Amino acid sequence: MFTMESRTRLMARRYFSWYWFPIFGSVVWVGTLLGLLLTWICQGEPHYVSMDSQGQTIAYISDVAADFLKPLFIAGASVTSVCFILSLFGARWLRHRGRILPNTSWAQRVFSIIAIIGAIVGGVALILLSIFDTKRHTTLHRVFLGVFVGGVLVSALGTVLEYWRLERHHQWSRALTYSFWIKVVFFCVELGLAIAFGVCLNQGINNAGAIIEWVTALVFTGYLLSFLFDLLPAARSHTGEFKDVELTPPNSSYTY
């Protein structure tokens, strides 16, 4: 039986809970990218100072963000980074509290921690690369860009491994299965795009590299949004509800 206090707390979670972080972060990130891209297009696709003079006609994200929209990029990158880190931390915390499906082995916890560390490294790097723009700090910008991509890939790999082992233990959970496969697809696609981007950057194939960078940034949104599947059930659960869950679901929170 729920008390009036617990019902009030449960209702409040539906309107303000951890699952808002991936939603808000995704909206801000996509909005930032669209703001940069549409500005460049509406300006008549100008050739920025930071762009290669040897035939580059498509601007990188960093080229547009190094101009007068730099404050927008810094703000968008900062908000997205914080939401990204809090989404992973929230999943770890809620599993520990038993408000979502708990980890069932030490290996899952280790993979989860690796994912959080990767997210922190990648998130901090995203903020720094937005501050040290490619027009004024080219070398630093590229270093932080590489760290950001590496951090996100490490985070995604840690998450995939954690969810692979977790999903095997809770095969009845459709939400967990969806989340796992979304993360697998994201990791494979993002890894392929990162490799292609690195090749284009090193070989000076700038137009193709710019397109890949825009696509890679948008694909990142899918990874962030995938945590919605993990965090949403916490809006309907209470502390310890999933602590002793083994092979059968306690309620419908995870079977939507």
For 38, counting Cβ atoms within 10 Å of its Cβ (0-12 exposed, 13-18 middle, 19+ buried), the class is exposed
In order of 3, 25, 103, 232, 235, the CA distances from 8 in angstroms are 9, 27, 28, 17, 12
Does the pLDDT of residue 246 top 80, yes or no? no
CB atoms within 10 A of CB 251: 12
Strands (DSSP E) contained in 60-218 are: none
Sign of CA dihedral 239, 240, 243, 246: negative
pLDDT digits (tens, 9 = 90+) for 28-65: 999 999 999 999 999 888 888 877 766 788 888 988 98
pLDDT tens track for 188-225: 999 999 999 989 988 888 899 999 999 999 999 988 98
DSSP letter at 132 equals S
- Mean pLDDT for the stretch of residues 93-105: 80
What is the model's pTM?
0.83
Domain ranges of the chain: 19-235
In the chain, the amino acid numbered 226 is S
Q: What percent of the chain has pLDDT over 70?
A: 84
